[in-house]
Structure 1
Amino acid sequence: MPDSLPLFPLNTVLVPGAALGLRVFEPRYLDLVRDCGRHGTGFGVCLIAQGTEAGAPATPMAWGTEARIEDFDNGPDGLLHLRLRGGRRFHVTRTRVRDNGLVVGEVAWCDPDPVAELQPQHALLGDVLRRILEQLGEADVRVPEPRFDDAAWVGWRLAELLPLTLPQRQRLLQEDDPDRRLDDLLGML
């Protein structure tokens, strides 16, 4: 049975484990954040397939990532600022739009990534990630527990940090196999 998940269509792709800053100002999304806080739940972030971030409800892509609120504050602009972290991936099987304009998806959760050791043919990607993280420093990227020998972790961090196009990042999000994801990343480099 699919789960119901409120969706926040954006012009970005959130991948598992990635951090995302978000400013919230529309009433439907302020209500969403309040409900998530009350119930200790997350919401789905999907790349916009059609439409825009503000105004009329946008049509989301069929794959997304659960977002969990790590921190929030009122910014100097008077808007609610959220710090999100990507969690589980999901596939949207159906959507509906509530009266307030909030898109709600019926979602099937993707299986968690298997724990798989970084293969020798992907060792270069582990080195690239180490160098990126060294250059960025801890202040710019909060990487919980580095796992440079874990194929899925390396792939998701590179998907988060490399200057990829939105279609490239979306394709990586939709790939279930960590080694194929790394093969795709090698091809993009």
Structure 2
Amino acid sequence: MTLQHQPPESLAVFPLPIFLLPGGATRLRIFEQRYLRMVKEASRGDGFALTVLDPNRPESCTPIAAWVSITDFATLPDGLLSIDVMANQLVELTNIHSEPDGLRRATITHYPHWPEHGQSLDNQQLATLLENLFAEHPELNNLYPAPRWQNANWVCARWLELLPINATSKVGFLAADSFTECERQLINMVVDKTSCAE
């Protein structure tokens, strides 16, 4: 399903305990009527905003979201709808409000993320370990038919999404200047620990 290059002026908002960065993909199960309506609207080409669920914020939404498109869908054996989504870019949410059925909607503006970074030795190690992880988990390969192992931003973003850390703890890495700190922490958590275990 192809989206326009720029997000529309407003989008439906789906708060979940899921953290997604540009280029990231995930599979969602949809069952509430308001979100079935959201999927129907999103399938026309606009997509929707996937934001981290945070009960401490107004409307339970973080103000930065991933603008996602639906890449695949299926009906599960239990009758629920499954959709695969991929994040196109980050967007800032303003004027968040709830419609009569509870579906949130917000005004959308582009939010810049990390500028492109060149590959480093440390990032090559992260890429190799990520490729090994994908090989062990075929469901990841299914979500990412064209992985970008040589792209430092892509590799760090996928690690950050996959690590079992509370989603609200990852929100600080939405900032455009957070790449260096993200890479440093990933090296400590992934590369150094792997080296110690060998």
Tell me the TM-score normalised to structure 1 length.
Answer: 0.81
- C-alpha displacement of 1:27: 1.7
Structure 1 ranges of 4+ moved more than 6 A: none
Matching residue's letter, 2:35: Y
Change beyond 3 A, Cα 1:163–1:42: same
CA RMSD of aligned residues (A): 2.5
- How far apart, in 2, do the equivalents of 1:167 and 1:11 lie? 8
Change beyond 3 A, Cα 1:180–1:97: same
Answer whether contact 1:17 1:87 (CA < 8 A) is retained: yes
Residue segments in structure 1 that go unaligned for 5+ positions in a row: 52-56
Matching residue's letter, 2:125: L
User: Which of 7, 10, 13 is the matching residue for 2:13?
Assistant: 7
Matches within 5 A, 1:1-189: 3-37=9-43, 39-50=44-55, 59-111=60-112, 113-136=114-137, 138-142=138-142, 143-172=144-173, 174-177=174-177, 178-189=179-190
Answer whether contact 1:92 1:108 (CA < 8 A) is retained: yes
Residue segments in structure 2 that go unaligned for 5+ positions in a row: 1-7, 191-198
What secondary structure does 1:40 align onto? helix
Change beyond 3 A, Cα 1:12–1:112: closer
- How far apart, in 2, do the equivalents of 1:112 and 1:165 lie? 20
Render the CA deviation track for 1:111-139: whole Å, top value 9, x for unaligned.
36433212234333223223222322x45
Answer whether contact 2:115 2:176 (CA < 8 A) is retained: no
Answer whether contact 2:113 2:175 (CA < 8 A) is retained: no
Flag the structure with higher helix content. Answer: 2
- How far apart, in 2, do the equivalents of 1:180 and 1:119 lie? 14
Answer whether contact 1:25 1:79 (CA < 8 A) is retained: yes
- C-alpha displacement of 1:145: 2.5
Q: How many matched pairs?
A: 180
Answer whether contact 2:21 2:87 (CA < 8 A) is retained: yes
Answer whether contact 1:48 1:58 (CA < 8 A) is retained: no
- C-alpha displacement of 1:13: 1.6
- How far apart, in 1, do the equivalents of 2:128 and 2:30 lie? 36
Render the CA deviation track for 1:12-62: whole Å, top value 9, x for unaligned.
22222222221212221111111122x3111011111118xxxxx951111
